[in-house]
Amino acid sequence: MARIVTPFSGRSLVEWTDVLQRATAPDERYRALLAVKSLGSVDETIVWSRHSLGDDDSAVRALAAKMLGESKRLDATSTTSWDDIANELTARLSDSDIDVRFEAARAMGRVRGGDASARDVLLSLLAEEEIQPLMLASVVTALAERTDVDLAGLASRYGMLLAHEQAEVRESVSAAVAAWGVPAAGVVEPLVIALDDEEPLVRENAALALGRAGVASDEVVAALRAAATDEDEVVATVAKNALTELGLSG
């Protein structure tokens, strides 16, 4: 079998972990941690991610938290102490850096589901006025992974975000609302507007959400019937299905 070559294959795993411990330049430690993920086992990734949670550089800490969250979904040995890891991530929920707080909160959702402190951090980030669009979209996605979020409490904010200038945000929000079911009734008006979004995925999610919301008002029905003739075949099909869900025909 041919040896798999990666951007990190020029050094061994031992050499990379040495860089992780000794390098003074943050970007070198960041690259070394990525190398550990690429070359090492899940257990080795967990060990060195925990080591890097206390790094002086915020980008390295954020990456470490992200990798721990991802590792929870993979096969680690039974000796992995996720309770200890959860405690270490909790300490990072109050980190001075917004990226670290976000990654720690998202990881906590996977490591210790239902942790209220992690949920509250995500909700606080959602309210940040200066948050970058890509992170905002990621926060929405992270909240969608949780089952302990008050959807009615999100309705007003998500309604505004459905009109966000960045497509990534609109796509994430519309996808989240489409999974709400009946609670999406609290976002009906913005969803109707979203049926005219320039992005097909947003229009598709909006139609899906309206069908599941169960609100068959004249405005909703008219908007879905118009969407049933959308130039995008998937959007048109989803809109027709939404009308069926509401007990109507296209």
The CATH number covering residue 193 comes to: 1.25.10.10
How far is residue 11's CA from residue 7's CA, in Å, rounded to a whole number?
10
Residue 226 placed within a domain = yes
Residue 114 placed within a domain = no
Whether 145 contacts 115, CB under 8 Å: no
Residue 233 placed within a domain = yes
Count of domains in the chain? Answer: 1
Q: Within 10 Å of residue 156's Cβ, how many Cβ atoms?
A: 12
Residue 127 placed within a domain = no
Whether 105 contacts 142, CB under 8 Å: yes
Residue 14 placed within a domain = no
Tell me the C-alpha to C-alpha distance, in Å, between residue 94 and each of 98, 104, 130, 156: 9, 9, 18, 26
Residue 125 placed within a domain = no
Residue 41 placed within a domain = no
pLDDT of 2 reads 44
How far is residue 45's CA from residue 30's CA, in Å, rounded to a whole number?
13
Tell me the C-alpha to C-alpha distance, in Å, between residue 53 and each of 61, 72, 103, 126, 135: 5, 16, 11, 23, 20
| CA geometry: angle 55, 137, 119, nearest 5 deg | 65
pLDDT in tens, 46-63: 999 999 999 999 999 999
How far is residue 99's CA from residue 96's CA, in Å, rounded to a whole number?
9
* Rg, Å, the chain Cα set: 22
Residue 215 placed within a domain = yes
How far is residue 245's CA from residue 212's CA, in Å, rounded to a whole number?
7
First to last CA, the chain: 56
- The residues, ordered by sequence, that sit 6+ positions from 50 with a Cβ below 8 Å of its Cβ are 64, 68, 85, 88
Range of the domain at 203: 160-250
pTM of the model: 0.88
What parts of the chain have a pLDDT lower than 70?
Answer: 1-6, 75, 78, 250
Instruction: Choose among 42, 47, 43: nearest CA to 17.
Output: 47
